[in-house]
Amino acid sequence: MAVAPPSCCLVAFPPRAKDGLVVFGKNSARPRDEVQEVVYFPAADHEPQSKVQCTYISIDQVPRSHAIVISRPAWLWGAEMGANEHGVCIANEAINARELAAETEALLGMDLVRLGLERGSTAKEALDIIVALLEEHGQGGNYYEDADSCHSFQSAYLIVDRDEAWVLETVGRYWAAEKTTEGVKCICNQLSITTKIDAEHRELRSYAQSQGWWMGEDEFNFSEVFSPADEHLDCCAGKDSLEKQEESITVQTMIDILRDKASGVCIDSESFLTTASIVSVLPQNRSLPCIHYFTGTPDPSRSIFKPFIFVGDIKLVPKAQSPCFGDNDPAKKEPRFQEKPDRRHELYKAHEWARAVISNDQEQGRQLRKTMLELEKQGLAAMEELLTSSEPLDPTEVGDLFYDCVDTEIKFFK
């Protein structure tokens, strides 16, 4: 059984979160050398009976897809995490379960993240879309760009909007979901839903009985029934970190938690690295914009969180996007992954220099990190001012917000 990368997804609701804000975050732990890109896709209308090509399979397209911004491993179609124009945020986790994940190519959990964002205008609608596609097409295939071995996993999701969050956990085509509207919630790379189940696959319990995993006499506990027999179920590091916060949770609190290597939330191990991170703030006051902060670079403790806001005219950011190899991409040709092209984008390359300086030169690295944090602090302060201003948002002022932040960061590193 492949080892699931130890990512972490978190959300905090008022009053634990400050000022009527829902705060969402994720660290994406992936193979150390994998590049993630940040990509914006505008809303689009599609022809009747058209198809959409996901990472491995094509499925029916919908008449209209929402505008989305996603952080994704550059070789695949889906997303590790992202948001849409309606204030829905989704992130997923690779998990192991009692039933081995299928190696047969189907939808990846990351494809379902993107499909949920493109098609769902609320967290519940995104949940319904994801489970319908899961039941129809199944999940399976290699989670890594690796020709030597197939690393396949089951999937868990944190699906959030301004009002509520849904934890969705899946095993094959079977699933269970739990709704949250208060406090804090965290998912890591193990099943977490126990006896509070607010929605489930209609045959979930009968399937568990047919496998001999549940006799039908005790209360049904999803994680106990479907977790590997040898897995020790414990609280994830992210949940511990959130629950320890004595003050109201802010964007800065969430960023600090994602940067914490000592707790195990920020991964930097021999096999895995936090290759990208996101923090989103979703005001429950619908007159205020949602703000999504992306790193687009590895190791949040050495990265700058940069803001993005949905407006009608978004300036694209090619410097945070990887080169496109089209149909010649080794991820699209069978047998897959026979080569590994250089997928580094301009932001990633510039950031490599910064990571090297911070690692190798104590004094210069300390000064560099201090300046990076000051740059980030300026952006956070400007966004906080925007959320507390009585003036309406001027779309012309924020359409190139993420572009300008990426451009400034690259120039700073150079």
Residue numbers annotated as active site: 9
Query: Which stretches within 220-292 are classed as H helix?
Result: 222-226, 237-244, 251-258
CA pair distance 414, 407, nearest whole angstrom: 11
**Cβ count near 409 (within 10 Å):** 25
- Where does residue 312 rank: exposed (0-12), middle (13-18), buried (19+ CB within 10 A)? exposed
DSSP secondary structure letter of residue 343: -
Q: Which two tokens stand for residue 308?
A: 């993005």
DSSP tally for the chain: helices H, then strands E: 10, 18
Q: What is the DSSP string of 334-384?
A: SSTTSS------HHHHHHHHHHHHHHH-HHHHHHHHHHHHHHHHHHHHHHH
The partner residues of 249 in beta bridges, in order of sequence, read 17
Instruction: Map 92-111 to HEC letters.
Output: EEEECCCCCCCCCCCECHHH
Lookup result for tokens 């094959």: 172
